Amino acid sequence: MTENTPETTAPKRDMPLWVQIIVWVALIALLVILGIGLMRNQQGTVQAGDRIYDFSLTLFDDYTYEGKSPVTLSDLRGKIVVINFWASWCTTCKQEAAELEAAWQYYQPGGEVVFLGVDYVDTEPEALAYLEEFGITYPNGPDMGTRISQAFRIQGVPETYFLDREGVLQYVQIGPFTSIDQIQSIVDSLLAE
């Protein structure tokens, strides 16, 4: 008997090697970028123990710190720094505005604690009206280009970050403070270190 094995399969033509390399490299690069993006989204805010990158906050007109504007974080080394993110459209920010100002008034004479208000995606006239309404006197300025809030990876407003004398983040408050005691207990613990 004869064995019938007709050659009906077409000759296999692979893509050139350089095309394959480009396709795989592009695919892997795309996946890496997507992965980094997803990781950043899921990271949450900066955590206690993180060193905060240096930034400068240009203050609103009529606001200065020790006669200067902008305020640079690295210039505040050696002091406890309280950074509060807020916005005039944020209703819960209003709940803590008076407490923050009262705490600032309490610590300002000692010169060991600095409060910084960072106005997050806001419009200037409404922001200034808010500051006037609550009589806020500690240094405040807009977060231009949301660079500072992105560095802190804030999830919303209000959020408050407490840095020790070395510029290391020690405590994060998500949401508004309910009393001045709450602020004082955190600041006092940092002053005692």
What is the nearest approach in angstroms of other proteins to the Cβ of residue 6?
6
> One-letter amino acid identity for 115?
F
Q: Min. distance of Cβ 54 from other proteins in angstroms?
A: 19
The secondary structure of 75-141, three-state, reads HHCCCEEEEEEECCCCHHHHHHHHHHHHHHHHHHHHCCEEEEEEECCCCHHHHHHHHHHCCCCCCEE
Residue 178 tokens read as 């309910």
C-beta of 47 vs 146, nearer to other proteins: 146
The gap between the terminal CA atoms of the chain, to the nearest Å, is 97
Residue with smaller CB distance to other proteins, 14 or 193? 14
Rounded to a whole number of angstroms, the minimum distance from the CB of residue 175 to other proteins is: 16
Of 6 and 49, the one with the shorter C-beta distance to other proteins is 6
At its nearest, how many Å lie between other proteins and the CB of residue 126?
Answer: 5
Binding footprint of other proteins on the chain (CB under 8 A): 1-2, 4, 6, 8-10, 23, 26, 30, 33, 87-89, 121-123, 126, 142, 144-147, 150
Task: Tell which residue, 120, 178, 176, has the closest CA to residue 148.
Answer: 120
Nearer to other proteins, 1 or 39 (CB): 1
